[in-house]
Amino acid sequence: MTDILQLHPRTQLQCSLKGIYLKLNLHQIAAPSELFMYANYISSVDGRIALRDAESGEYMVPDSIANKRDWRLYQELAAQADVMITSARYFRQLAIGKAQDLLPVGTAPEYTDLTEWRAQQGLNPQPDVVIISNSLELPARALAQLHDRRVIVCTSEQADDKKVNQLKASGLTVLIAGHQQVEGKQLKQQLIEFGYRSAYMIAGPAVHHTLISEQVLDHLFLTTRLNLLAGDAFHTILNGNMSATELELLSLYLDTDISSQQLFAQYRLKR
């Protein structure tokens, strides 16, 4: 069904949802010995990407904006990644059954085309995972679910040596990429040295701020669900102070499906 309307670049063409991000070939953009890094969020019109869960105290993507059509594009972006960058918060949510899903690429039948596409492109069946954490509070039972890929923990020089050694003893790779906290430029260089060429960031606003403020993030994908959430305890896509960053709109689609009207935007961050 052609229920996606391309608004920019202006064509007024209708197309299918499936494939609108996969065709970007993000894994091939980086020059040799470079890394292409991109982020993705879904937000309400009033800027909420997460609300605080009263039971766990964690900030969660609300059911009122999460939807399968956006999740399909989330999976397409994951399919193009050598490595996914996330945070300890995701693993805490996974340990208590509150995470949206196990890190993609999904193994459900509707994502078979993505796993086949990765194989055709010569990519590993699953992207590797980098976890950014200063506290190193990582539930072992959640980490154990990622036995089918390399898991790297990235932390700072201030990390507790005992926790670092425990993680290494469990078979994880631990990288130091910053003094007080993980720094974006050091993180990028470490990933380049591992041979990665495409990195998909799905962490929260603090990590997003680190990557943007240090000018290592290249593209931002933002789904805007056409609803309003309000609420006082929430996260937006960015926090902290920094200089203004200009964006260039690369593509914009309107999802006209009545069950989940939303906008799919892709931006380039200007240096």
Cβ pair 98, 60 in contact under 8 A: yes
With a CB cutoff of 8 Å and minimum separation 6, the contacts of 51 are 59, 60, 62, 229, 231, 233, 234
d(CA 97, CA 176): 29
Which of 101-105, 155-159, 177-181, 191-195 comes out lowest in average pLDDT? 101-105
Residue 104 included in any domain: yes
Residue 12 has a pLDDT of 64
Residue 248 included in any domain: no
Distances, alpha carbon 23 to alpha carbons 94, 126, 165, 197, 246, in Å: 30, 19, 42, 17, 25
With a CB cutoff of 8 Å and minimum separation 6, the contacts of 63 are none
With a CB cutoff of 8 Å and minimum separation 6, the contacts of 259 are 67
Q: What angle do CA 127, 128, 129 make, to 5 degrees?
A: 115
Phi first, then psi: what are they for 200, rounded to 5°? -110, 115
Residue 15 included in any domain: no
Work out whether strand 36-44 and strand 198-201 pair parallel, antiparallel, or are unpaired: parallel
d(CA 263, CA 4): 9
Residue 1 has a pLDDT of 55
Cβ pair 61, 222 in contact under 8 A: no
Helix locations, the chain, DSSP H:
68-79, 88-95, 112-120, 140-143, 161-169, 184-193, 205-213
Residue 257 included in any domain: no
Residue 249 included in any domain: no
The per-residue pLDDT of the chain, averaged, comes to 92
Which CATH number belongs to the domain containing residue 81 in this structure?
A: 3.40.430.10
Cβ pair 92, 114 in contact under 8 A: no
- Percent share of the chain, pLDDT over 70: 98
Query: What angle separates helix 205-213 from helix 184-193, to the nearest 10 degrees?
Result: 80
Q: What is the pLDDT of residues 90-123, one digit of tens each?
A: 888 787 777 766 677 888 899 999 999 999 999 9
Residue 182 included in any domain: yes
Which structural domain range is residue 181 located in? Answer: 25-236
Residue 258 included in any domain: no
d(CA 199, CA 43): 21
d(CA 189, CA 32): 13
107 or 68, higher pLDDT: 68
How many domains does the chain contain in total? 1
pLDDT at 175 over 80: yes
pLDDT at 246 over 60: yes
Residue 134 included in any domain: yes
d(CA 90, CA 265): 24
pTM: 0.94
Cβ pair 20, 74 in contact under 8 A: no
